[in-house]
Homo-oligomer: A and B are copies of this chain.
Amino acid sequence: MKPNTLEERYQIGLENLAKIDGQAGHDVIESLKSIAPDMAQYVIGFPFGEIYNRGGLDLRSREIATISALCALGTIPQLKVHIRASLNVGLSKEEIIEIFMQMAIYCGFPKALNAIFAAKEVFEGT
């Protein structure tokens, strides 16, 4: 369902986020509550209520795109959230590692290695 109001967008965003990583959705709202409560509305509303909610690309493909971009950007906390999300939407651990090995070509070995070590921490539950 495509949202009509911004309130619907938030509810749809929460539902979509729950499908890929429910705990992360809860955590981001909690962590922003005291400092930037409106930011939680945007983080849940725009990415998950609008973009991830679109048809035209499966969630597996969306998560491949996301972890690749986050590897390039080097933002490890968000990369770890989306490594977990990648597992939740059906990517195997082996596929995630393949993606990061491929990233050595485009982003260089240091960024690829840091992504692999982030994956190691997620897979080990730390």
Contact = CB atoms under 8 A, between A and B. Distances in A.
B72 A110 contact: no
Interface residues of A, number: 66
Nearest to A98: B57
Copies of this protein in the complex = 6
A104 interface: yes
A52 to B, nearest CB: 8
User: Interface of chain A, helix or strand or loop or mixed?
Assistant: helix
Contacts of A47: 105, 109
A110 B81 CA distance: 11
A35 B66 CA distance: 21
Contacts of A75: 74, 110-111, 114
Contacts of A117: 31, 35
A115 B110 CA distance: 15
Interface of A: 3-7, 9, 28, 31-32, 34-36, 38-39, 42-43, 46-47, 50-52, 54, 56-57, 60-62, 64-75, 77-78, 94-95, 97-114, 116-117, 119-120, 123
